Chains A and B, each alone.
Chain A
């Protein structure tokens, strides 16, 4: 399978970050790696592009940041989801899934004769 560098649809980056953080608190590098791994490298983020998103989400109060120590023993900024963010994730997930299934059913539409 070709390595497809999917351009992310507008707004999906926030969703991906929230989802990744809903499982564990992570620093920026790990978030991008996690997304790449889980999506089988089909979704890979441009280096650094997630930082503006992270700061924006933090500003909205959906995620929260704290300085901690990374696995390699360096100090790193860890993000974790907040209660507000979790709610947001739920609604956004609903939206996305219903949108995706709608698009899918259109694409799988059989020619009406």
Chain B
């Protein structure tokens, strides 16, 4: 025997490493070849063994038999051992644990399905909310380099997001050297009419020619506005949105160059904008874009704040510098034109941040939090299920641990099982979330078809699986740790009875149930409060009456209704014709509806009072109305008279003010007969206050306090933007809608009436986003309630099953059914009660949070809280009643014999 090997036969350093790696790879990936090689190797050994026995003198048959006996039977085990060496050791263990876990889950399909569905809904709801948050809050607007886009606001005491007057905008444009680009637009509803087609109202804006280049958007067809086209006379061109192109023009490509009639004047379609502009978050609701052609008079107007400004900062300046520049400009305006700008400051807001207001953001966070609550309930259900399962296997664990299994070996299958459940639950959750998100974007589609698609990108997927993993680890490990703390001796000694679970984990499960009920209480009461609040909102008719009322909007195009006389004539005729309809009690036209916020705010001076500092005059929102307006919408006139047909442009000006304005300006004096004038004009036109009307409050969720409201006769300042109101005489408002439309078409076939419907429907539609929120909260609450009742049922049923022999003995000693039922019911209801009581605190917190987001909603209602508590307890009673019935029907003899 050579004592020293020759170095030649040994593989060398790097080559050796390489070969070694190759071996590993081969073993992992070329399994079949490896198997074949192993077979050959073992066969080789067997053949040698047979030959060896033959050499020792056995016959061929004996040798074969002996070799088989010696080698054959054992090889199966060796083979498995060899295969194990092929896999990296951790992988081998993992593989074994995985197979074990799958088998053990498959053995109890009921538990597995329940666990996966529980997790799926819990994580699904959460993931859905996250996907909404991801799309609406985290994602920037779909404009190139959108971080450099800012909205420029004029902050006034009335409005933190105030608009800007044309003259101010033109000044800014002249001075903005170095800022970048600034575009301005103004909402400007337009009438679209084409020969042979019914006239239609289109939501439109007028914009400077550079809006799309500022946003970095190219039309998908045709061209953008040309630089000179936003000058008067040059402006007969329009761009249309993708949605409008599809709806009205059937997406035909020859639409470019076609002439359409906008507000009665021919315009040429020069381009179709891309689909990304239909993003719900920004300009999605616009059908039609026209150039902002400011005439001489408008260009000098500093009073009508109508323009929304969007700026793109140049790359050379920072946001702070840009904001400073804008703030400076605003300050300069305040000193140069104090009568309009004294109380206003200017600032910039990143356009991406304007998508969700502060309240929207906090609502989102709250919803994610609430969906987290649902997840929490789902998780504690899972923990309960797992715990019960682990307890049922306590003997198995005890035996294994007695045989020397290490802590890790005991834990691993449990962990792998919960990981598997989590992954399956996560996959299920993505389906649930997808479905929920589809529903959400369907429900949140706006009136003009603008919608938001909730994207499922990798953020969302990683959220879903991250949530599942954390869930699985946190809630799968807790029962496992309990299993480890089991006392070996006790468990083995407790014999066939199975583990009733020691004091510790009974406490643990009770805590879980209490927690579930507390969380369910928060969810349910939050949802109930919100539903009630929304209901109240939809039925709030402060200062007006909605039943038997139909409303609709008509905008008179300036081309046809060019002067005040024509507009007034139209108003007269319309009201006359509408009131002559059968079953119509009265009709009116006003510049705003009573139910939403009134946008037109003006400043007034009181006759005989000292002039306030310029810019600090009292402001009131204005509504121009035809004579029977108050009668029609149901606003009470508290003092004085209403307007009549005798109040015309030729008679002295008259006003009616609301109660807030009357007490605010005149306190205890009689306002009737006092005179007001609009501030700002050089020669003041005084008008007399002839009446006081009740305060009218908006039905929107964030109406703000009731401000000063002022009415003036429509005839004294005819407006082209008209809200028609018709009160029926006792018949359902929907029955007269068609007849109203006929009347309007008869008056002017080119004039579309928008949103002609019962006022109640308009109000409900206006609050649809709040309604979506209600739906989400309701589904969370129901999900939470369902899961919590499932949880309490499971725990009580299991406890009852474990106490069967106790009950049997009680029966044998003379207890009656009622006693046993009572024991079972109280044990469950006690937990529910404690949980609900704890949940009340959380419920109060949630209602506070909701009230913060929706200050206009009535979100505090003790009856609702009491009702929710009762509901929860009722659910707990029902969930415990089933096990109680079963316990009450124990046959003591059978139960005890079964021991």
Contacts and interface: CB of A to CB of B under 8 A. Distances in A.
Interface stretch (B6-14, B506-514, B760-768): B6-14
Contacts of B45: 28-29, 47-48, 51
Contacts of B37: 67, 77
Contact of B44 (A52, A65, A76): A76
Interface centre among B24, B44, B75 (most CB of A within 10 A): B44
A84 interface: yes
A23 B82 contact: no
Contacts of A25: 9
B1 interface: yes
Contacts of A28: 41, 44-45
Interface string B142-167: 00000000000000000000000000
B600 interface: no
A80 B9 contact: yes
A51 B82 contact: yes
Given A82-B16, A86-B10, A47 B40 contact: no
A59 interface: yes
Chain B residues touching A, majority SS: helix
B44 A77 contact: yes
Contact size class for A? 20 to 34
Given A25-B9, A28-B44, A28-B45, A83 B16 contact: yes
Interface centre among B1, B74, B85 (most CB of A within 10 A): B85
A65 B22 CA distance: 12
A31 to B, nearest CB: 10
B336 to A, nearest CB: 85
Interface residues of B, number: 35
Interface string A46-79: 1111011001101101001101001000111100
A51 B42 contact: yes
Nearest to A75: B40
B78 A51 contact: yes
Interface string B545-569: 0000000000000000000000000
A81 interface: yes
Nearest to B1: A23
A47 B71 CA distance: 5
B16 A27 contact: no
Given A51-B42, A56-B85, A29 B10 contact: no
A77 B19 contact: no
B41 A64 contact: no
Contacts of B10: 80-83, 86
Contacts of B20: 61, 64, 82
Interface string A20-54: 00111101110000000000000000111101100
Given A23-B2, A82-B10, A59 B85 contact: yes
A48 B68 CA distance: 11
A75 B37 CA distance: 11
Nearest to A34: B1
A29 B11 contact: no
B27 interface: yes
Interface in B25-75: 27, 37, 40-42, 44-45, 47-49, 67, 70-71, 74-75
A4 to B, nearest CB: 18
A52 B82 contact: yes
B5 interface: yes
A46 B82 contact: no
Contacts of A24: 2, 5
Contacts of B463: none
Contacts of A59: 23-24, 27, 85-86
A55 B19 contact: no
B74 A48 contact: yes
Nearest to B10: A83
A56 B84 CA distance: 9
Contact of B5 (A22, A52, A76, A84): A22
Interface string B75-87: 1001001101110
Interface centre among A28, A55, A64, A77 (most CB of B within 10 A): A55
Contacts of A58: 23, 85
A29 B44 contact: yes
Interface in A78-112: 80-84, 86
Contacts of A55: 82, 85-86
B11 A64 contact: yes
Contacts of A80: 9-10
Contact of A77 (B1, B40, B67, B70): B40
A61 B2 contact: no
Interface in B744-779: none
Given A59-B24, A82-B16, A84-B16, A52 B71 contact: no
Contacts of A81: 5, 10
Contact of A83 (B11, B40, B71): B11
Interface in A1-32: 22-25, 27-29
Contacts of A84: 16
A64 B16 contact: yes
B70 to A, nearest CB: 5
Contact of A48 (B11, B40, B71): B71
A59 B37 CA distance: 15
B16 A29 contact: no
Contacts of A61: 16-17, 20, 23
Nearest to A21: B5
A10 B69 CA distance: 25
A96 B890 CA distance: 67
B458 to A, nearest CB: 36
B16 A48 contact: no
A83 B78 contact: no
Contacts of B11: 64, 82-83
A18 B24 CA distance: 20
B5 A64 contact: no
Contacts of A51: 41-42, 45, 78, 82
A24 B2 CA distance: 9
A81 B19 CA distance: 13
Contacts of B67: 47
Contacts of B27: 59
A24 to B, nearest CB: 8
Contacts of A76: 41, 44
Nearest to B3: A23
A36 B49 CA distance: 14
Interface centre among B10, B17, B23, B70 (most CB of A within 10 A): B10
A82 B84 CA distance: 22
A11 to B, nearest CB: 15
A38 to B, nearest CB: 8
B48 A47 contact: no
A59 B40 CA distance: 19
A46 B74 contact: yes
A80 B7 CA distance: 12
B23 to A, nearest CB: 6
Nearest to B83: A55
B55 to A, nearest CB: 12
Interface of A: 22-25, 27-29, 46-49, 51-52, 55-56, 58-59, 61, 64-65, 67, 70, 74-77, 80-84, 86
23 contacts: A23-B1, A24-B2, A24-B5, A29-B48, A47-B71, A48-B71, A49-B74, A49-B78, A51-B41, A51-B42, A51-B82, A52-B78, A52-B81, A55-B82, A59-B23, A67-B37, A74-B44, A74-B47, A77-B40, A77-B44, A82-B10, A83-B12, A84-B16
Ranked nearest first, the 8 interchain pairs of A and B with the lowest CB-CB distance are A61-B20, A52-B81, A47-B71, A29-B48, A55-B85, A56-B85, A55-B82, A47-B70
Interface of B: 1-2, 5, 9-13, 16-17, 19-20, 23-24, 27, 37, 40-42, 44-45, 47-49, 67, 70-71, 74-75, 78, 81-82, 84-86
Given A23-B5, A29-B45, 19 more contacts: A24-B5, A27-B41, A28-B41, A29-B44, A29-B49, A48-B75, A49-B78, A51-B41, A52-B85, A59-B23, A61-B16, A65-B23, A70-B44, A77-B44, A81-B10, A82-B10, A82-B20, A84-B16, A86-B10
